[in-house]
Amino acid sequence: MTQFLHWVILITLAAVLASITACPSVCRGEFENGRLKCDCTSRGLTSLSGIQWNTSIELLYLSRNNLRSIPAGTFNSLVNLHSLFLDSNHLTTLPSGVFDRLTNLTTLSFCCNNIGVLQTDIFSHLEKLDTLRAFNNDL
């Protein structure tokens, strides 16, 4: 029985480590309340192009970087994402459809940017969204 328990612990630990490394190398991965969190805060990111996001990410922090735009399709693989933080970047717009596949998103924050206009359908697919923070923009 003891050997079986050791195997269970090793397999569980391997799964946890695999999930944490599911975050891009520039980010820090950890579990928060049982959810995989990728913290990419203050990493000097200027672009999200080419980053391969793992579908198991549930919390994504991209605040305090130097992002000026987010290409359409950037978040398409993040079907399990619950919270997305884009605060304190240099965003001026959010492209139509950028959030369309984030159907599990409950929290979206893009405060302290330079966004002046939002597309009328920008949130139309976010049926579970209950927290939206957009203050300190040019809206």
| Predicted pLDDT at 13 | 42
pLDDT in tens, 11-40: 444 344 444 458 999 999 999 899 999 999
In the prediction, which pLDDT does 22 show?
81
- Element holding 104 (H helix, E strand): none
> How many Å is the Cα radius of gyration of the chain?
17
Q: Can you read off the two tokens belonging to residue 4?
A: 């079986």
**Contacts of 5 by beta carbon, 8 Å cutoff, 6+ apart:** none
- The list of the chain residues with pLDDT below 50 reads 8, 10-20
CB 47 within 8 A of CB 67: yes
Closest CA to 24 of 68, 60, 63, 70: 60
